[in-house]
A and B are shown apart, each in its own frame.
Chain A
Amino acid sequence: MKNRNLLLLIVMAAFVLLGGCAEVVQVGTAVGQSSGVLSARDKELLDKQAMSTAQAARPMTEKEEYYLGRAVAATILGQYRLYTDNRRNEYINSIGRTIALSSDKPYIYGGYHFAILDTDEVNAMACPGGLILISRGMLQRAGSEEELAAIVAHEIGHIVNRDGVKAISAARWTQAVTALGADAAGRFGGRQLAELTTLFEGSVNDVFKTIVVNGYSQEQEKAADESAMIYMQRAGYDPSGLYDFLGRLAREQRGSDRRGFFSTHPGMTERLEMARSFLAAKGWKRMDHVARDQRFNAYRW
C-alpha cells in the first residue's frame, strides 16, 4: 500500500515537472502495472486523467488556426466585393510580405495573404492564420507608403499576437479538444464530426464578432500598434508612419458620428499618444523616404 501511494505520487510529480506530458504518465503506469504495484484499473484511471488534462491544455495548432481563419475570411467575403486591380494588389502584398519577414513570425502555416475589399468603409481585418483584408476606404486615407505599411504591420501584429484565436471562448475550445476523444486514429466518427463542426461554427462566430462587430480590446490594439512600429523599424520603414496614420484617423473620428470603424476602434487619441511616447522612448527619428514616396505616387488612388 505504501509503495502504491509512493508510485502515484511519483507519477503525478513527473507529470507536473515535465509539463503535463501524458506519455510520461503512461510509461510510469505501464511500469507500475508490470511490477504489480498498480492494478489495471489504477493504470486506466491515471492514463485517462493524464490524457484529458493534456488535451484540454493543448493550444490550437497553426494548422487549425489556418482553417479557422479561412472560414472567418469566407464569412467576411460574403459581405464585400474584392478589389481586383492586380497592380495595387501586388503593391499591398509586397508591403505585407516585406513587413511579415521582419515580424516575430515571418512564416506561418499557409503564409500571409493580403486583399483589398472594394468598399468606401474604413476597415481592416486580420483573420487568424494570415489572411488580411483591408478596405479600399482605409488604404485611400494613407498619405504615404509608410502609412500603408503601418496599416499592414498593425494587422500582422494581430496575427502574431494571435488576437483572433483569443476571441474564441475558452469553454468552446476545451469542448472541441475533449470532443476528439482518446481514439484519435483514423477519421472522425459521424457524431464526432457533427459536434466538431458545430464547435468550429461557434469559434468562427466568436472571431467574426470580435473582429467585425465588437472590435479588439484597447490593450490588444495598443499591443498591435507597438508590434507594428517594431516591425516597421526592422524592415527599414519609418515607424512614425503609424503615428501619422493614427493622427488622420483621430482627426476624422473627432468629426464623425462614430459608426462603423470608429465604433469598433474607440480611443484613437489614446493610441496616438501611446505611439508618440513609444517612438520617443525608442529614440527613433523621422527618416527620408523619397524612393518609397515616388513609388507610392504611382499607386495612389
Chain B
Amino acid sequence: MKKIVWLVLLGSMMMAAVAAAATFRVVTEEATIRKDRKFFAPVVTRVPYGEVLQEQARKGDWLMVNYKGRQGWIHISTVQEQKFDWSSLSGGRAAEATRDEVALAGKGFTPEVEKSFRNKNPKMRYDLVTQVESYRLSEGQVENFIRAGNLREPGGEP
C-alpha cells in the first residue's frame, strides 16, 4: 500500500514539473522586451539580471512575457528556463534550500572574487578592459550598418 502512495507522490511531482516548465530567469546583465519579434523592434521595457518571467506564448526564438504590466517579446538567449519550485510542495526547510540554490547560481566567480583577484594582481589592466567594454554602438548604428552594407537583418520571423 505504502509503495503505491510513494509512487503516486513521485508521479505527481514529475507531472507538476512538466506543467510548470514555463518560467524563465534573465541571464544577461539586462534584457530587452520588444514590441515585435525583431532585434531592432521598439523597446517596451528593460529587465535586470535575475528577474523571473512567465512565458505567455512562444514563436521561434522569441517568448512573449509580461514584466510589471508591460507586455512584449524577449529573445530566448537572454533568459534561461527555470525548474519547478519544489519548496512550494513542502515549505520550511526545503524552501530555505531552494533559496540557497538560487544564491548558489550567483556564487562562484563573482564581483567579490574579481575584487580579491585584482587586489592580489594589481598589474592586471582592468582599466583597459573597462575601456573596451565602453565601446558601445546604438541599435540604430548597427541597423544602419546592416542596411548600408546590403546585409540581412537577423532574427525576424522564423
B70 at interface by CB-CB < 8 Å: no
A115 to B136, CA, bound (A): 11
- B93 and chain A: residue at smallest CB distance: A30
- Contact check, B155 vs A295: say whether CB atoms are below 8 A apart: no
Residues from chain A with a CB closer than 8 A to the CB of B107 are 180, 184, 188
- Contact check, A180 vs B77: say whether CB atoms are below 8 A apart: no
A1 at interface by CB-CB < 8 Å: no
- A55 and chain B: residue at smallest CB distance: B104
Partner of A196, one of B9, B109, B148: B109
Residues from chain B with a CB closer than 8 A to the CB of A63 are 27, 49, 106, 110
The total of chain A residues at the interface (CB under 8 A) is 82
Partner of A201, one of B100, B120, B135, B145: B120
Residues from chain A with a CB closer than 8 A to the CB of B114 are 67, 70-71, 200
Partner of A193, one of B78, B100, B113, B142: B113
A109 to B133, CA, bound (A): 12
- Contact check, A107 vs B109: say whether CB atoms are below 8 A apart: no
B41 CB to nearest chain A CB (Å):
13
Residues facing A in B76-113 (CB within 8 A) are 77-78, 83, 86-87, 89-90, 92-94, 97-101, 103-113
A102 at interface by CB-CB < 8 Å: yes
Known: A67-B110, A197-B117, A289-B150. A107 touches B77 (CB 8 A): yes
- Contact check, B108 vs A185: say whether CB atoms are below 8 A apart: no
Residues facing B in A39-87 (CB within 8 A) are 47, 54-55, 58, 60-64, 67-68, 70-71, 73-75, 77-78, 82
- Contact check, A236 vs B151: say whether CB atoms are below 8 A apart: yes
A107 to B27, CA, bound (A): 10
A90 at interface by CB-CB < 8 Å: yes
Partner of A292, one of B105, B110, B150: B150
B3 CB to nearest chain A CB (Å):
6
- Contact check, A21 vs B86: say whether CB atoms are below 8 A apart: yes
A181 to B13, CA, bound (A): 27
Stretch at the interface among A91-99, A220-228, A255-263: A91-99
B91 CB to nearest chain A CB (Å):
9
Residues from chain B with a CB closer than 8 A to the CB of A23 are 83, 86-87, 94, 97-98, 101
Partner of B123, one of A61, A67, A78, A114: A78
Stretch at the interface among A9-17, A239-247, A265-273: A9-17
A185 to B7, CA, bound (A): 34
- Contact check, A97 vs B124: say whether CB atoms are below 8 A apart: no
Known: A90-B137, A235-B154. A185 touches B28 (CB 8 A): no
A232 to B43, CA, bound (A): 26
- Contact check, A97 vs B137: say whether CB atoms are below 8 A apart: yes
Q: Which residues does B use to contact A, with CB under 8 Å?
A: 2-3, 6-7, 9-10, 13-14, 17, 27-29, 31, 39, 49, 75, 77-78, 83, 86-87, 89-90, 92-94, 97-101, 103-114, 116-117, 120-121, 123-126, 128-129, 131-133, 135, 137, 141-142, 145-146, 148-152, 154-155
Q: Which 3 A-B pairs have the closest CB atoms?
A: A236-B152, A236-B151, A74-B124
